Structure formats: structure tokens, C-alpha cells
Structure 1
Amino acid sequence: MKNSLLYIVTILFFNVLFSQKKVNNNDFNIQQIINNISLPQIPSYKVSVTQFGAKGDSLTNCKRAFDKAMKACEKRNGGKIIVPKGVYTINGPIHFVSNVELHLEEGAKIRFGSNPKDYPLVLTSWEGTMLYNYSPLIYGNSLKNIAITGSGIIDGEAKDTWIQWKPFEENDKQLSREMNHKSTPIKERVFGEGHFLRPQLIQFVNSKNILIEGVKIEDSPFWCVHLLKSKSITLRGIRYNAQNNNNDGLDIEYSSDVLIENIQFNNSDDNIAIKAGRDTEGRSNTTMPSENIVIKNCEFKGLHALVIGSEMSAGVRNVYVNNCRAIGYLKRGIYIKTNSDRGGYIKDIYVTNIDFGEVEDCIYMTSNYHGEGSGLFPSKITDISISNISCIAASNAGIVIEGNPTSKVENITLDNITIKSAKNGMTLINTKNVLFNEVVIGEKQGVPSSVH
């Protein structure tokens, strides 16, 4: 009896030590990622868009004034462009140059026109495939030290314009995917006039030392903020009211060293989506996974809170999510998705301390997204730790983990998960080494009932 008790105490002691070591390692790794991120260095030169003729009367086209302000900063190797209180209409995109901060003061609003002819073709990406399409409304390529700050509003003005393209985009979406699968040279993937792929609101490509802070984002044509093939990114204090189709809040793709914190999401699609290219093209970019991403202290509201995939073919790894909460209904809380056309991997994901309210599904991992996939390129989902999660109710499933028969989901740890009610408590298919501790779905069981 004495030896048995000693054995149990020893096991518990080592479990506690292991758990504490893991927490400490995660804290260390998070701090290392944050330490590797550089905020943009902006020269002291300042200009106001009003110096170049911009009028905040909501009627005047301020495109030339914003272009001139950007040019003035470029001549001085950078600077700060101030947008004072007022409503500024811009018929065409804002194209950034390096070492520039666009600052929207309290009461300032930028609203973009929606004539496609005002938006030249640029190198961009659409749902994981590189191509040439209408310029995102705010855009930059191959830049460093860029920032969008302040408390003003960036309005895509899309609800009555760009969004009308949604029913017509299917042929172009399939064409882009066919070009991806056939490795069509990117210079030949030209969309734009005669096509119906909506542009993103804000997109920076091949850039580094990026800051977006404080602004409110509304009414985007497509994804709201898309960071593509970029690194050293800080996204904090952003607010959203973006209710159009495909209005993802943040899409992080082929990007690394990212801090996302204190963001108030209110999006009709994914709040945060971490991606890494699609299918053939993504698998050819394995040196550019999305990695080293820290997400903390955010408020989720919309369709899905945290999403990884489904475009993740170059791989997603080293993602840390901590101390977030949902306000209002979500379709899914934690959603990891891929299919057997993607390939690639999702690994080393650590999610802890999240409070969800009512959802359709609380935790959902699937290798069978939309039931699609040829079976030739199954993805690998492995080494996922999810802990300290609470959920009031799941109208469908509490926990779903669904692997591929030839590539099982494995090494999953679920610790201290409480889901007060769920239609389907748990479904595990094609999994290996799934560990549970303190997982309660439904009413917590107490003392067993007596036979009398």
C-alpha cells in the first residue's frame, strides 16, 4: 500500500512539473516572438492631406491629394501623413511607399469609391493563389516601415457596390484554382476587367515592419486586412464593423513574426484566419510557412473566431493564442480545416484561456473541409494543445476531430475544457494519441446514484 501511494504521488509530482515546464516554455517562446518583431521607424517629417487640397466634405475626390502627400513623404525618405477630422472620398487606391505612417485623427473617415476602372491591376492573391487583380484599396508591395494608426475609420463602401459581384465570382474563382493546379506562370494570371474577383481592403505584400493600430474598419469589398508574404507585423487595437460576404478580419498568409492583440472583432466571416497558400502553389512555397504568431487579449464576434486554413499548403506552425473571449454568437470557436488537396501541415498550435458563449461548434478540426479533396495530398495536423476553454452552449458539436485515413490527426491535448451543453458531445475519426484531462461536456457528473 505504501509503495502504491508513493508511486501515485511521484506520478502526480512529475505531471505537475511537466505541465509547469510546458507553460514556462510557451511563455518563453511567446516573448521570443515578440522580441523579434520590429515596429516601423518613421521619420519626423509630417504633412496633412489638407495641404494638398483634400477636403473632408465627403464629396470632393481626394485621390490626388493623398497621392501628393505620399509623394512628398517619399521625396524625404518617409514621414507621417495626417488625416484630420472629416469625411474624405478617395476614388482609387492608396498605394504606400516605405517609411510612411498614415494617421487618421479622431473623427476622420476615409471612404473609397467603387468604380473598378479606378483600381489598376497589381500583384495580389485571391484565396491562396497569386495573380493580378484590381488593387486592394490600401496596398503596398516590397516595402518596409509602414503604419496605419489613429482612431478614425476606413470604410470600403462596398455594401451596395463591390459586394454585388459575389454571385458572379464562381467562374473566376475556379479559373484561378485551375491556374494554380497547372502552375500557370503568374504573369499570365491576369484578372481585372471582365472578371469578378473583389479586392481586399488593406493588403501589404513582401513587406516588413508593419503596424496597424487603433483604426476602425468597415464595409470591406472582400477580406479586410491581408498580410501576404510579410514579416515583423504588429496588429493591435483595431475595431471592426464589417458585415459583407467574406469580410474576414485578419488574414495572415505566408507571413511570420506576428503580434495580434487587443482587437475588437465584429465580422460576418472569420475573425482571424491563418493561411499559407493553396494546393500546388502552396506546396511549392514550403520555405515560407506562416509561423511565429501570437494572439492575445482579443474579443471575438462574427462567424468563426480563430481559424487555421483551409489554404495552408506551405504549412502553419508555432501559433500561440491566449486570454481571449467571445461576445455574442459564433458559428465556430476554434476551427482548424484542410482537405486532401492541400498537403502541408498544421502543427505546434497552443490555445489557452478562451471564453465562448453560444456557438454551433466549439472546437472543430477537420481534414475533410467541405468534403473536398482528391486524396493525393492529405495534410498533417499534429501537436495541438487546447486548454482552459469554456463554452456556454454548442448547438451542434462540442468537440470534433476528424483526420484522414492515411494521415491521422495526432498528438492532441485537450485540458480543462468545459462545454455546458452540446447536441453532439464529441466525435473523433481517424485520430491518434488524443489526450484528455478535465473535459466536461454537459452537466458535470457528481456522486453516482444508488440502486435504491
Structure 2
Amino acid sequence: MKLHNIFLFISICIFGCKAPDDKELSREEKRDAILKQINAPAISTTVLQLTDFGAKGDSISNNKPAFDKAMQASKAKGGAKIVVPAGIYLVNGPIHFVDNTTLELQKGAKLIFGTNAKDYLPVVPTSWEGTFIHNYSPLIYAYQVKNVAIIGDGTIDGNGKDGFSKWYDLQKPSQQLSRKMNHDGTPLKERIFGEGHYLRPHLIQFYDCKNILIEGVTIANSPFWSVHFLKSENITARKVKFNAFNKNNDGFDPEYSKNILIEDVEFNNADDNVAIKAGRDHEGRKTAISSENIIIRNCRFKGLHGVVIGSEMSAGVQNVFVENCTYGGYCKRGIYLKSNPDRGGFIKDIYVNNVEFGAVEDGVFITSFYHGEGKGFATAIENIFIENLKFKSASHAGLVIQGYPDKKVKNVYFTNMKIDFCATAVSLTNTENIVFNDVVIGQEVKIPSAVK
């Protein structure tokens, strides 16, 4: 054998051969490796009382100046915990976070945001349904900051029903314009959506942030999505309660974000409880930052859908774990993966284990044809592992998978799954390698009857 061929053979064995003792990591090992990367930020020992900055919890006084002063004081000190005591605090305008700052809402404290849209100007960098724009400020906004937290037993009320939510019926022209700018690649500096437009702001948004904690608070009455994690990482959200019933009142929306733990959350939302996203269409594919390493555990679902991936997911979603969750009420769908041929990207390595729902319309719904539209950019959906999933009933369908003719949904594994009652048990189209192990839909068939 010639010398260069010997070196080639050795290289192939070193880099291309799998060692006999190498093995695929288990679900638990993959999950635990992700958990090691997620650490809640430390809470500052420097304490600032909001009332020392002129705040009054009388439901009448405007506390926007007090929050601005407290944030600036925190910045000057290199970080602090801003404590809001019991009371009802009207805030006419956004709260903008600074580095190393915790906002603690003590028991009986409630923030209510004003409804004058002009108070949320000037416009700030943000995103709307998967497209980057400049728009009215989110009501609580953290942009390019680190080590921030919202904690306590108090309530954040977006006052959406009496404010921005009324824009829902007016938003279509601006919504379509934002999507056109996305497809056309319009420079971000030209995407200005402020006065004269009707795109509702988020209640809470963390944009390009690191080391985030949300714990204990109740989030209510959002004007749009409740909590949006955008291009952010190392996020812990636990023991949060939602009471958000306006249009598009999702609970948590991670987008272009990674290393996220959502646990012990009590959902009660008019829309998706958790909706994992990764940008829309042209812009999402160009941005190419996948949402990944997301763990959702010990939660109670209630609202439109339990856990959703998409439909804005063009940069891809991977490594999602949904574990040990149950339900607090009705959900239209339990697990919902949705894309269409405008999106592209991928959805892969999704693990659902030990989750239970009550009555739903659809149990598991995976579709490449969301809204029945789109062309040119089919999504790769594969490696979905669903184990120990139960439903009391599914009034429409138990398991639905709709692939794309040229890009089938493949490698979906259902193990130990039970649906007590449903209308249509299984509907599979454009699929490949869908595996069932111990799946019972409807009444389990026991010993066959004998001839009499």
C-alpha cells in the first residue's frame, strides 16, 4: 500500500469510524446537558424602594417617572433590586430595563399600564410576528441587557382590553406591509411602524438579552403576546401565572433564542401557552439563528394550544423537551407543530414525555400546510419522539400528520400513548417511518370473542 493511502486509511478510521462503545445519548442525558447550561441570574443585594423615587400605589398617580428614576439609579450603582410594595401603580408608558436589575413586585402590588399609545413612543427596535421592525415600545422592555429579573407575588396588567387590543381589527394593512418588507429585504431602518400604524406592542419583551429570570408573578390582560424572548439566551421562567384573554395572548414566545427552562407555570391564555418561533420566511432563513435547547416541565396547560412550534420558524427549531405536564382546563390542541411552504427551515429532535390533557379538539397535529398556503420552501420535520401522552378525548382527531409531497414528515415515534375517545383516530399524509408502540385510541380491544 502506498504511503499516502496508508495515511488516508488511518484518517478515515480516526475521523469517520464510530468507536464500538459510542452510543446515542438518551433523552435524559440530552436534557440534563442542556440544564447544566441554564443558570438564573443572581439577585442584587442593593435594594431600591420604588416609593423613594416618588411612586404612589394609589391607582391614580403616574408612576412612569418613578420607574425611570429607579432604573437610572440601578444603572449608576451597577445593578439593584427595585422593590414595589403593595398597591396599584398606574404606569403611563414603558418600563425599560438596565443591566443587573431585578424588579420585585411584592404581594399585593399591581402594575397597570396606561392606554395612551403616544406614551409608548418613540419607536424601538422590536419584532412583530417574525419580522424585525421599529414599533411602539413593549410595555416592559429589555434591549441588549444582561442579568435581569422580574420576581415576586404581584401582578403585571397590560390593560390590553381597554387599550391596544382594540387595534386588532385595524392591523391588517400594517401587518401585510411588514410581511412585504420581510420578503423584499427592506432595510431595518426603513421599517418604521409607529403613529399611523396599528401593530400592538408586546406586554414584556427581552430582545438580545442574556441571563433572564421571571418568577412568581401573575401576567394578565396583555395587548399582544405576553412574554417574548427574542434573540436571547439563558432564560428561566418558573411559577408564573397567566390570565390573558385578549387576541393573540400567547404565554411565552421564545424566538431565535436558546437555553430556556420553563417550569411550574400555570397557563390560562386565549392563545398558545408556549409558542416556539424562529423568524418568518425570507428574513428567518437569512437570520439563521435556530431556537433550541428548550425545556418545558411541570406546567399546567389551559387555553388555545398547549405547546406549539411555529408557524414562524424559518430559522429552525430543535432540541425541545416537554415533560411531566398536565392540564388546568380545556385546550383546543395539545401538541401542535405547524409550518407552510413559505417558511423553510426545520423542526427536529422534539421530545414529549409524560404529558396529559383532558378534552381537546386535536391531540397531536403536525402540519406542513398551515393555512393551506405557501410555496418554494418546504420545512424538514423529523425526529419527533412522543411517549406517555394521554388525552381524555379528541373531538376532531387524535393524531394528524401532514407532510409536503417533496419533503415528507419522517421519523415520528409514538410510544405508550392513549386517547380514551376521538372522532378520527389517525390521519397521515406525505409521511415516512411513523412508528407506533403500544398506542390505544378509543376503547382498548381485549381478548377476541369466540364463535358461539
Where on the TM-score scale, by shorter chain, does this alignment land: which range?
over 0.9
Cross-structure match for 2:392: 392
How far is the alpha carbon of 1:22 from its aligned partner? 9.6
Decide whether the 8 Å contact of 2:274 with 2:308 is kept in 1: yes
Structural mapping, 1:364-403, within 5 Å: 364-374=365-375, 376-403=376-403
Match of 1:91 in 2: 92
Q: What residue identity is the alignment partner of 1:210?
A: I
Q: How does 1:256-295 map to 2 (within 5 A)?
A: 256-286=258-288, 288-295=289-296
- Residue in 2 aligned with 1:157? 159
| 8 A contact 2:44–2:102 mirrored in 1 | no
**Which of 221, 224, 233 is the aligned partner of 1:222?**
224
- Residues 418 and 22 from structure 1, CA distance in 2 versus in 1: closer, same or farther, beyond 3 angstroms? farther
Q: In 2, Cα distance between the equivalents of 1:181 and 1:329?
A: 37
Q: Answer whether contact 1:43 1:77 (CA < 8 A) is retained.
A: no
CA distance in 2 between partners of 1:154 and 1:160 (Å):
15
User: Aligned ranges for residues 301-340 of structure 1 at < 5 Å?
Assistant: 301-340=302-341
Partner amino acid, structure 2, of 1:405: P
Answer yes or no: is 1:430 the counterpart of 2:418: no
* 1:29-428 correspondence to structure 2 within 5 Å: 29-120=30-121, 121-286=123-288, 288-374=289-375, 376-428=376-428
Q: What RMSD in Å do the two structures reach over aligned CA positions? A: 1.2
Structure 1 unpaired stretches of 5+: 1-20
Query: Counterpart amino acid of 2:169?
Result: P
Given residue 275 of structure 2, which amino acid in structure 1 is its aligned partner? A
Q: Is the 8 A contact 2:242 2:267 kept in 1?
A: yes
Once the two structures are TM-superposed, the CA of residue 330 in structure 1 deviates from its matched residue by: 0.8
Alpha-carbon contact 1:39-1:234 (below 8 Å) kept: yes
Using the alignment, how far apart are the partners of 1:33 and 1:232 within structure 2?
A: 10
Distance 1:38 1:158 in 2: 32
- Give, in angstroms, the shift of residue 23 of structure 1: 11
Tell me the amino acid that sits aligned with residue 108 of structure 1.
A
Cα offset, 1:142, TM superposition? 0.7
1:444 aligns with 444
Letter in 2 for 1:307: V
2:338–2:370 contact (8 Å) kept in structure 1: yes
Following superposition, the deviation at residue 328 of structure 1 comes to: 1.5
- 1:7 counterpart residue number: none
Structure 2 distance, partners of 1:428, 1:450, is 33
The aligned amino acid for 1:33 is: I
Residue 24 of structure 1, CA deviation: 7.0
Which position in structure 2 is the counterpart of 1:10?
none
Deviation readout 1:352-376 (Å, 9 max, x if unpaired): 10111000000000000010112x0
**Take 1:105 and 1:177, find their aligned partners in 2: how far apart are those partners?**
41
Q: CA deviation at 1:43?
A: 3.1
TM-score by length of 1: 0.94
Matched residues in 1 for 2:181 and 2:237: separation? 32
Provide runs of 4+ in structure 1 moved above 3 Å.
21-24
Shift of 1:449: 2.1
Q: Distance in 1 between matches of 2:44 and 2:359?
A: 47
**Counterpart residue number, 1:11:** none
Q: Which amino acid aligns with 2:377?
A: F
8 Å contact from structure 1 (residues 42, 78) kept in 2: no
- Secondary structure in 2 aligned to 1:74? helix
Between the aligned partners of 1:280 and 1:451, the Cα distance in structure 2 is 63
Of residues 41-50 and 319-328 in structure 1, the stretch that sits farther from structure 2 once superposed is 41-50
Paired positions, count: 430
Once residues 256 and 24 of structure 1 are traced to their aligned partners in structure 2, the CA distance between those partners, rounded to angstroms, is 20
Equivalent-residue separation in structure 2 for 1:125 and 1:306 (angstroms): 21
Query: Is the contact made by 2:115 and 2:162 (CA closer than 8 Å) also made in structure 1?
Result: no
Contact (CA 8 Å) 2:59, 2:90: kept in 1 or not?
yes
* Contact 1:299–1:327 under 8 Å retained in 2: yes
TM-score, scaled to structure 2: 0.94
Distance 1:424 1:26 in 2: 30
Aligned residue number for residue 11 of structure 2: none
Contact 2:386 2:413 in 1 (8 A): yes
Q: CA deviation at 1:448?
A: 1.5
SS in 2 for 1:106: coil
Alpha-carbon distance, 1:216 to partner: 0.1
